[in-house]
């Protein structure tokens, strides 16, 4: 997995891309994609022991589908031409830190970009944009499903995300996009065991250490 991580360049993440998730945190549904990024040092495989920072308050899991860019973005190119990989991951959020940053209208990096804040499974071949829309994914905590979602519920579909990010920031081979999380986010405790499931394929377990 570390070799696969070495090929990753930019990590783009999409905020509030599921309406119920925005509502559960008391946020407005955005009118255009909300994009933020994480450093590559945030990457961690979706198995083993995950050391999260202690003493910064509540840290929330946010399970998400992740796509990998296989060739440079060009306006007008189809998603099927640009994306070559699919994975599932967790966008970790230091929720208390984020709340303070939002009050001060500061960037979210401290709350979103800390070490190990971007869990990522191995990539599988991208099934195509139509098949992607019908996928299902889940996050299990200690054997219980706490999040379940599908891209068909995304506010901004994959085509819109790719064109928006590509036109605004650029996209090229090795970039990845965390496409947003469904409702059900919550805090983890020391010793929690997490398993990610993508269309029936399980990744993990991931044991939390705080």
Q: Is the pLDDT of residue 2 over 70?
A: no
pLDDT at residue 202 tops 80: yes
Distance CA 67, CA 10 (A): 12
Q: Is 119 exposed, middle or buried (0-12, 13-18, 19+ CB in 10 A)?
A: buried
pLDDT tens for each residue of 38-94: 999 999 999 999 999 988 999 999 999 999 999 999 998 999 999 999 999 999 999
Domain presence at residue 156: yes
Give me the CATH number covering residue 37. Answer: 3.90.850.10
| Position 1 in a domain | no
Within a domain: residue 193?
A: no
Distance CA 41, CA 124 (A): 22
Q: Residue 154 sits in which domain range?
A: 10-47+60-136+149-187
Report the candidate in 175, 66, 68 with the shortest Cα–Cα distance to residue 120: 66
Answer yes or no: is 142 within a domain: no
pLDDT digits (tens, 9 = 90+) for 23-43: 666 667 778 999 999 999 999
Give CA–CA dist 42/120, Å, rounded: 10
Identify the pLDDT of residue 27: 64
State how many domains the chain has: 1
Q: What is the pLDDT of residues 141-181, one digit of tens each?
A: 999 999 999 999 999 999 999 999 999 999 999 999 999 99
101 belongs to a structural domain: yes
């Amino acid at each position: 997995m570390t070799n696969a991580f070495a090929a990753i360049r930019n990590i783009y993440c999409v905020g509030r891309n599921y309406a119920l998730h925005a509502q559960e945190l008391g946020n407005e549904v955005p009118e255009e994609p909300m994009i933020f990024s994480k450093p590559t040092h945030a990457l961690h495989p979706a198995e083993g022991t995950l050391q999260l920072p202690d003493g910064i308050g509540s840290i929330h899991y946010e399970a998400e589908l992740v796509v990998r860019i296989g060739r440079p973005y060009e306006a007008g190119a189809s998603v099927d031409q640009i994306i070559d990989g699919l994975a599932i991951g967790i966008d970790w959020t230091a929720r208390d830190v984020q709340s303070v940053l939002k009050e001060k209208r500061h960037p979210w990096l401290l709350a979103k970009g800390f070490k190990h804040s971007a869990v990522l499974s191995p990539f599988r071949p991208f099934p195509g944009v139509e098949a992607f829309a019908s996928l299902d994914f889940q996050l299990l905590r200690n054997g219980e499903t706490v999040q379940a979602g599908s891209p068909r519920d995304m506010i901004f579909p994959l085509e819109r995300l790719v064109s928006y990010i590509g036109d605004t920031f650029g996209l090229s081979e090795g970039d990845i996009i965390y496409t947003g999380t469904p409702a059900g986010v919550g805090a983890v405790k020391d010793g929690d065991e997490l398993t990610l499931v993508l269309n029936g394929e399980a990744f993990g377990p991931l044991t939390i250490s705080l």
